[in-house]
């Protein structure tokens, strides 16, 4: 009976299953395995690790699975180099153990059992193997060559996500680093550039036109390359409907007492100088099919200010015919320039997020009522640190509305409700 079932029926069945059920479905027989292969590998999440790249190569050689890959999610975290000695590894675990005890104490729970010396030694051996394999892979550029090989076989590829610093992550997932205790972080510099460049170079060579590109966090230095090379790197873009970028503007870690702190925005001046050339603005302007645009810089600086102005991101007077979702973060502008851009998109724009925005000499108290009156938004998110200037007095405006994924904030909720709810008459910032 199984041998005579029509493949289209099997595919229809798979279309109603979640990914775990599809994986079990494929174990039944070859016919089920082939039907399930059309769905099981539509989205592939992989790390910068030899085992995951072997998995990619195996999928790319499968005659059915390779033709049905739609989305690649590259988590670019790596183990910190140089390799830890045994003594450093023991100290690393001692620090982890201290944190576990503090968390358990605050939760009024018993901390996890301590790892014994023999088990800790086994974890160290696993760690040594993992970091040696990583160094070999990076030194021999095996990550770059593998992506060029496999992406050329993914003829239906439409979406690429490059994630570092846990930006654009897709929840928790077991990683190939689980057996070595040390958690991977963002160690390659400039941040995210090697990972993003290797993906887009492979897409260029395979002549694939993407529909969606999500990348973050990656250094502004990604754009610091010859114009011809940059055009080649970004040649995938003619069909893009979604562009989401989180751009790093530099940071330094330093010790305050016994704790580490971070100084953000250390490379803001260099990034600002590059963006003033219009390089990023011209690229975004060329995306005629754009529906979703998100450009966020991860830091501004008390000393250096902001990395970009609105006009460095979005061409003044230009209109994207299909733009329905816009997110901007850590930029400066004036309220009239922002409103001019929003008015041009009032017929299509339904979702707006403004985070960590400075109005240079104009007022948020005047801007928000204008947005509410002019736009017909379904979703609004005004968040982070907002700076402005009262226009009838010398006083500076400042509110910290926090980011939605960090803290609850009643004022932020009230502001966002005000922008989408006609029943709220008074702008919350006036309170």
pLDDT in single tens digits along all 431 residues of the chain: 444 455 656 566 656 566 666 666 566 676 666 655 665 688 899 999 999 999 999 999 988 888 989 999 999 989 988 899 999 999 999 999 999 899 988 888 888 899 999 999 999 999 999 999 999 999 999 999 999 999 999 999 999 999 987 777 665 567 888 889 988 887 789 999 999 999 999 999 999 999 999 998 899 999 998 777 777 777 778 899 999 999 999 887 665 554 566 778 899 999 999 999 999 999 999 999 999 999 999 999 988 999 999 999 999 999 999 999 999 999 999 999 999 999 999 999 999 999 999 999 999 999 999 999 999 999 999 999 999 999 988 899 999 999 998 888 999 999 999 999 988 888 898 86
Task: Determine the Cα–Cα distance for residues 221 and 243; give it in Å rounded to an integer.
Answer: 18
Phi, psi of 383 (to 5 degrees): -150, 175
Total Cβ atoms within 10 A of residue 222: 21
Residue carrying structure tokens 């039944």: 28
CA-to-CA separations, 181 to 115, 116, 187, 282, in angstroms, rounded: 11, 13, 17, 45
Cα dihedral: 349, 350, 353, 358 (round 10): 40
Task: Determine the Cα–Cα distance for residues 398 and 374; give it in Å rounded to an integer.
Answer: 24
Q: How many residues does the chain have?
A: 431
Task: Determine the Cα–Cα distance for residues 109 and 409; give it in Å rounded to an integer.
Answer: 29
pLDDT at residue 190, rounded to an integer: 94
Phi, psi of 335 (to 5 degrees): -65, -35
Residue carrying structure tokens 């001692």: 94
Task: Determine the Cα–Cα distance for residues 332 and 188; give it in Å rounded to an integer.
Answer: 29
Task: Determine the Cα–Cα distance for residues 428 and 339; give it in Å rounded to an integer.
Answer: 19
pLDDT at residue 3, rounded to an integer: 47
pLDDT at residue 338, rounded to an integer: 98
Task: Determine the Cα–Cα distance for residues 296 and 276; give it in Å rounded to an integer.
Answer: 16
3-state secondary structure of 37: helix
Task: Determine the Cα–Cα distance for residues 317 and 340; give it in Å rounded to an integer.
Answer: 8
For residue 330, with 0-12 CB atoms within 10 Å meaning exposed, 13-18 middle and 19 or more buried, which class applies? Answer: buried
Q: Which tokens in the block code for residue 190?
A: 């400039």
Task: Determine the Cα–Cα distance for residues 283 and 313; give it in Å rounded to an integer.
Answer: 9
Residue carrying structure tokens 């390779």: 66
Q: Specify the pTM.
A: 0.89
Distant-in-sequence, close-in-space partners of 289: CB < 8 Å, separation ≥ 6:
239, 240, 241, 322
How does DSSP assign 367-431, residue by residue?
Answer: HHHHHHHH---SEEEEESEEEEE-TTSSPEEEEE---TTT---HHHHHHHHHHH-TT--S-GGG-
pLDDT at residue 227, rounded to an integer: 74
Neighbouring-strand partners of residue 332: 309, 358
Task: Report, in angstroms and rounded to the nearest whole number, the Rg of the chain calculated over CA atoms.
Answer: 25
Total Cβ atoms within 10 A of residue 296: 20
Task: Determine the Cα–Cα distance for residues 242 and 43; give it in Å rounded to an integer.
Answer: 17
Q: Which tokens in the block code for residue 9?
A: 């029926």
Cα dihedral: 294, 299, 302, 303 (round 10): -110
Asked if 11 and 40 count as a contact pair (C-beta separation under 8 A), the reply is no
Q: Which tokens in the block code for residue 317?
A: 């007077």
Three-state secondary structure string covering 103-159: HHHHCCCCCCCCCCHHHHHHHHHHHHHHHHHHHHHHHCCHHHHHHHHHHCCCCCCCE
């Amino acid at each position: 009976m199984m041998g005579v079932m029509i493949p289209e029926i099997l595919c229809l069945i798979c279309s109603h299953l979640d990914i775990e059920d599809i994986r079990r479905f494929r174990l039944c027989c070859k016919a089920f395995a082939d039907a399930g292969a059309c769905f099981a590998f539509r989205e592939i999440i992989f790390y910068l690790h030899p085992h995951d790249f072997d998995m990619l190569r195996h999928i790319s050689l499968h005659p059915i699975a390779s033709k049905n890959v739609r989305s690649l999610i590259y988590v670019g975290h790596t183990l910190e180099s140089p390799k830890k000695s045994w003594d450093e590894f023991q100290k690393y675990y001692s620090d982890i153990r201290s944190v576990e005890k503090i968390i358990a104490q605050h939760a009024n729970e018993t901390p996890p059992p301590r790892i014994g010396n023999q088990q800790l030694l086994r974890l160290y051996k696993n760690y040594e193997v993992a970091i040696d394999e990583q160094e070999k892979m990076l030194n021999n550029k095996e990550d770059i060559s593998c992506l060029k090989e496999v992406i050329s076989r993914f003829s239906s590829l439409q979406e690429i996500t490059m994630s570092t610093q846990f930006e654009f992550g897709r929840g928790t997932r077991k990683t190939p680093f689980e057996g070595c205790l040390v958690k991977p972080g963002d160690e390659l510099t400039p941040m995210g550039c090697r990972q993003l460049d290797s993906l887009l170079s492979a897409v260029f060579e395979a002549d694939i036109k993407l529909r969606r590109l999500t990348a973050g966090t990656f250094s502004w230095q990604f754009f610091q390359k010859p114009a011809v090379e940059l055009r080649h790197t970004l040649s995938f873009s003619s069909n893009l409907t979604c562009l989401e970028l989180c751009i790093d503007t530099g940071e330094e870690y330093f010790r305050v007492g016994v704790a580490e702190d971070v100084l953000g925005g250390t490379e803001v001046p260099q990034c600002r100088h590059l963006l003033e050339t219009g390089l990023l603005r011209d690229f975004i302007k060329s995306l005629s099919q754009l529906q979703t645009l998100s450009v966020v810089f991860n830091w501004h600086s008390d000393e250096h200010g902001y990395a970009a102005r609105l006009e460095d991101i979005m061409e003044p007077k230009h209109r994207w015919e299909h733009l329905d979702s816009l997110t901007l973060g850590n930029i400066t502008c004036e309220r009239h320039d922002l409103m001019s851009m929003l008015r041009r998109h009032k017929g299509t724009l339904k979702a707006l997020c403004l985070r960590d925005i400075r109005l240079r000499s104009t007022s948020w108290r005047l801007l928000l009522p204008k947005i509410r009156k002019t736009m017909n938004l379904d979703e609004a998110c005004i968040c982070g640190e907002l700076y402005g200037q009262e226009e009838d007095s010398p006083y500076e405006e400042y509110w910290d509305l926090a980011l939605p994924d960090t803290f609850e904030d009643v004022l932020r909720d009230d502001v966002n409700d005000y922008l989408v709810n006609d029943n709220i008459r008074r702008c919350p910032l006036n309170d």
